[in-house]
Amino acid sequence: MPGPLTALFVLQTDIWYLVSHGTALTYAVLGVLFVFSVCSWTIIFSKFSSFGSARKSDRRFLRAFRKATGLEAVMVASEQYRPSPLVAVFDHGYQELSRQVKSRGSVANREAISRSLQLGSNEQMSTLEHNLNWLATTASVCPFIGLLGTVIGIIRAFQHLGSAGSTSLSAVGPGIADALIATAVGLFAAIPAAIFYNHFGHVLKEMGASMDDFSLEFMNLVERSFGD
């Protein structure tokens, strides 16, 4: 009686046999799905790394910002936290603040500083969101590409059925196998993309809220340092 390992080997061999005996259209569908899947996983791992580094740097910079006695001290300390999106937001606000102080000797337009902070936040969000649309595209398109492979497989099954003049499994098996494999690969590409797209969307929402809160803290520090 064959054991579990033997059964698994037979299953893998059968699947490889079915794939290797597919049509050119089957290979094209599977190839497109493979490209989508590889690109999606590359983006997923890249975003895990970049988001993790950004959030860690944000926390460290925020602690330094809250301990600082003034904006000049924050500017000096910010150099060691450059991967942090909050540092980029701080730079936008500090540059506008410096322009006003140099030209007028005081802060004359706090609204301009607030707008500069908002521009910095928007730029950072755009950078963080880069390539996430690919995950959304993969999640929405791959099931339909898999469905196309399914339709092609079913058409192949009916062609074999007509040419063989038989309703046996051997006549329709290859076409049905193509259909099921294409469906499975389409779902394998789409499901992780959908899961991680939603996960990263939640992370981006948190980071966006953190930037908004930081902008308020920056303006509070401006009020304390340059208040009338």
pLDDT digits (tens, 9 = 90+) for 195-206: 999 999 999 999
Contact assessment for residue 192 and residue 138, using Cβ atoms and an 8 Å cutoff: no
Quote the pTM value: 0.78
Contact assessment for residue 222 and residue 110, using Cβ atoms and an 8 Å cutoff: yes
Q: Is residue 13 part of a domain?
A: no
Q: How confident is the model at residue 88 (pLDDT cuts 50, 70, 90)?
A: very high
Q: Is residue 198 part of a domain?
A: yes
Q: Is residue 30 part of a domain?
A: no
DSSP string, 144-206: HHHHHHHHHHHHHHHHHHHHHT--SHHHHHHHHHHHHHHHHHHHHHHHHHHHHHHHHHHHHHH
Tell me the C-alpha to C-alpha distance, in Å, between residue 73 and each of 65, 69, 70, 77: 9, 7, 5, 6
Question: Which of 65-74, 99-108, 117-126, 163-172 is the least confident region?
Answer: 163-172
Q: How many domains does the chain have?
A: 1
The per-residue pLDDT for range 110-163, each reduced to its tens digit, is 899 999 999 999 999 999 999 999 999 999 999 998 888 877 777 776 766 656
Query: Residue 83's domain spans which residues?
Result: 37-226
Angle at 57 between CA 54 and CA 58, to 5 degrees: 80
The CA distance from 182 to 26, in Å, is 8
DSSP H or E run through 39: helix 24-67
Contact assessment for residue 163 and residue 131, using Cβ atoms and an 8 Å cutoff: no
Q: Is residue 131 part of a domain?
A: yes
The CA distance from 168 to 161, in Å, is 8
